[in-house]
Amino acid sequence: MTDRLPPAPASPALELTALTKSYRNGPTALDDISLKIEQGSFCVVLGSSGSGKSTLLKCITGLVTPCRGEIRVKGRPMTRRNLRTIGMVHQDFGLSERLTSAQNVMAGAAAITPLWRILLQAYPLPVQRKACQLLARVGLTEAHANRRVKALSGGQKQRVGIARALITDPSLILADEPVASLDPRTSAEIMQLLKDAARERGAAVLCSLHQIDLARAYADRIIGLQGGHIIFDGPPAQLDRAALSAIFKAEDSGPHLKFAVA
């Protein structure tokens, strides 16, 4: 009888090694960042404005070029080709106001759709059906699907954004301050929706936030950034007063932190 070798461990959804980004005559936005995001996890990058959160996500998507370091998605170096395995949820929604909700969701499949179909808004029927299914999954009706985005509320727009991020069945979803412009109740709804929808599909989520209460409520793991450095990495239960003071620094930690650790 031949002994069977144990299965190889699954590659992380995302792996960053020594990622560094600095600007000429400016600060170092990211300094030697190394981390792994496991498949199916919900990870929040927590920090104040200027901590490096958005730069980190922009480096992963290729919007910003790091000075050095390596980015791997499911074990493979980041390229234009595997960028399609990443879904993106934007702070400002990133939607076309003149298009309908359904058209915006289908636009998320642009990387796998012939250009002529995109220009004519003639997406394949499977893509059209999937867009409608995803809009229903995020709580929008058929009327919302056929309505131009400019007529939607902020919360409805972000639901469209989540549906669009899911259209290509990504292995990783990046969400850059996805609830920054929303009221507290809608913010909680959107965070729960993002977590549930990603979990159903086995996708990992890397979400940047500055709201401590939301990070604690929805994250499996919190990474605290300050000045481009990781200064906390652990489960929400370990995010104590000392860690929060380090993440947000003394000048940012007045009533904001008192509320958070009460």
Q: The domain spanning residue 76 has which CATH number?
A: 3.40.50.300
Domain-embedded: residue 4: no
* Nearest-5° Cα angle at 191, 133 to 231: 135
pTM of the full predicted structure?
0.87
The length of the chain, given as a count of residues: 262
pLDDT digits (tens, 9 = 90+) for 89-113: 998 888 999 999 999 999 988 877 7
Domain-embedded: residue 118: yes
Domain-embedded: residue 151: yes
Average pLDDT estimate for 171-196? 93
Does pLDDT of 41 surpass 80?
Answer: yes
Residue that the structure tokens 């309505």 belong to:
147
Average pLDDT estimate for 19-26? 88
Structural domain for 99, as ranges: 14-260
Q: Are 34 and 19 in contact (CB under 8 A)?
A: yes
Q: Are 205 and 198 in contact (CB under 8 A)?
A: yes
Domain-embedded: residue 52: yes
Tell me how many domains the chain contains.
1
Domain-embedded: residue 92: yes
Q: At 245, is the secondary structure helix, strand, or coil?
A: helix
Q: Are 55 and 30 in contact (CB under 8 A)?
A: yes
Spatial distance between the Cα atoms of 254 and 262, rounded to a whole number of angstroms: 12
Q: How many CB atoms lie within 10 A of CB 10?
A: 11
Domain-embedded: residue 1: no
Does pLDDT of 175 surpass 80?
Answer: yes
Q: Are 165 and 88 in contact (CB under 8 A)?
A: yes
Q: What element of type H or E holds 3?
A: none
